[in-house]
Amino acid sequence: MIPEGSLLAAHDLRKTYGSTPALDGASFSVHPGEVVAVMGPSGSGKSTLLHCLAGIITPDSGTITYAGRELSAMSDAERSALRRSDFGFVFQFGQLVPELTCVENVALPLRLNGVKRKAAERTALEWMERLEVDDLGTKRPGEVSGGQGQRVAVARALAASPKVIFADEPTGALDSLNGERVMELLTEAARSANVAVVLVTHEARVAAYSDRDVTVRDGRARDMEHAV
């Protein structure tokens, strides 16, 4: 049931909140280096799917396989370790630590993986350069614009060389020019480093940066390439 060559695959996921079914038999897969857009109406289960795939929440049933290992078979500690080492995250807002400078924020995932401060900040600055925010290094997140902060967040997601980036409405708070710039940089960086991206968005212009799109309706994911 795992599509050949996929890095991360979910099969028949179900998740209910009280009596609300958030996922109702959703399946999904992404290949290394592939950018997949997850679209669908509000409340259809996109974020729930993303959180399950990333091991942030546990589905009631169904399987999720990452690089040949089943997430549900791991302990909580193993899952957190995997999230730190292999996954990167970009959300709509509120993701940078306000007390840290931008460069410290970008270096944080590396620091958590045991990289020494100097080396971590050097790598962080390289990524910030690629995202054109290296001049913001010493500022705190509260002192930069929304678009700049979002690019800092993308740099942070990429800095620890993840295998998968999970992005939930990464451009939701940005105007269209800034949003596109973030998408351009995110997808370019991801493709050159062979990182898979799971991108939740309701904006077609953002989804157009993906290689493939999947639509979630009523808790079920549908692969649009194989639809009709």
Partner 1 sequence: MSIGHTLLGLLESGPRHGYDLKRTFDEKFGQDRPLHYGQVYSTMSRLLKNGLVEVDGVESEGGPERKRYAITDAGITDVSQWLAQPEKPEPYLQSTLYTKVVLALLTGRSAADLLDSQRSAHLRMMRILTDRKRKGDLADQLICDHALFHLEADLRWLELTSARLDQLAKVVAP
Ligand X SMILES: Nc1ncnc2c1ncn2[C@@H]1O[C@H](COP(=O)(O)OP(=O)(O)OP(=O)(O)O)[C@@H](O)[C@H]1O
Token pair of 10, please?
A: 């979910």
In DSSP notation, 8-50 reads EEEEEEEEEETTEEEEEEEEEEE-TT-EEEEE--TTSSHHHHH
- Taking the complex as a whole, the smallest distance from the CB of residue 174 to partner 1 amounts, in Å, to 16
- Site residues for partner 1 per CB under 8 A: 41, 184, 188, 204-205, 207-211, 213, 215, 222, 224-225, 227-228
Is 45 a binding residue for ligand X by CB under 6 A? The answer is: yes
Stretch that binds Mg ion, among 44-52, 77-85, 134-142, 210-218 (CB under 5 A): 44-52
Q: Which is nearer to Mg ion, 44 or 123 (CB)?
A: 44
Which of partner 1, Mg ion, ligand X, none interacts with 149 (beta carbon under 5 to 8 A by kind)? none
Contact flag: residue 171 with Mg ion (CB under 5 A)? no
Contact by Cβ (8 Å): 23, 14 = yes
137: its two tokens: 């290094």
- Least distance to ligand X from the beta carbon of 215, Å? 11
Q: Is 157 in the site for ligand X (CB under 6 A)?
A: no
- Report 81-140 residues binding Mg ion (CB under 5 A): none
Q: Is 17 in the site for ligand X (CB under 6 A)?
A: yes
Report in angstroms how near the CB of residue 179 gets to ligand X at its nearest: 16
Query: Which of partner 1, ligand X, Mg ion, none sits in contact with 191, Cβ below 5 to 8 A by type?
Result: none
Nearer to partner 1, 43 or 98 (CB): 43
Q: Work out the number of other CB atoms within 10 angstroms of the CB of residue 179.
A: 21
d(CA 150, CA 27): 29
Residue with tokens 């060389």: 161
Minimum distance, C-beta of residue 51 to Mg ion, in the bound complex (Å): 9
Q: Which of 6, 47, 148, 171 contacts Mg ion by CB under 5 A?
A: 47
| Residues near 44 by beta carbon (within 8 Å), at least 6 away in sequence | 216, 217, 218, 219
- In angstroms, the CA 124 to CA 60 distance is 37
Closest CA to 72 of 84, 60, 81: 60
Retrieve residue 66's tokens: 């990452």
Question: Which residues of the chain form contacts with Mg ion (CB under 5 A)?
Answer: 47
Question: Which residues of the chain form contacts with ligand X (CB under 6 A)?
Answer: 17, 20, 22, 40, 42-48, 202
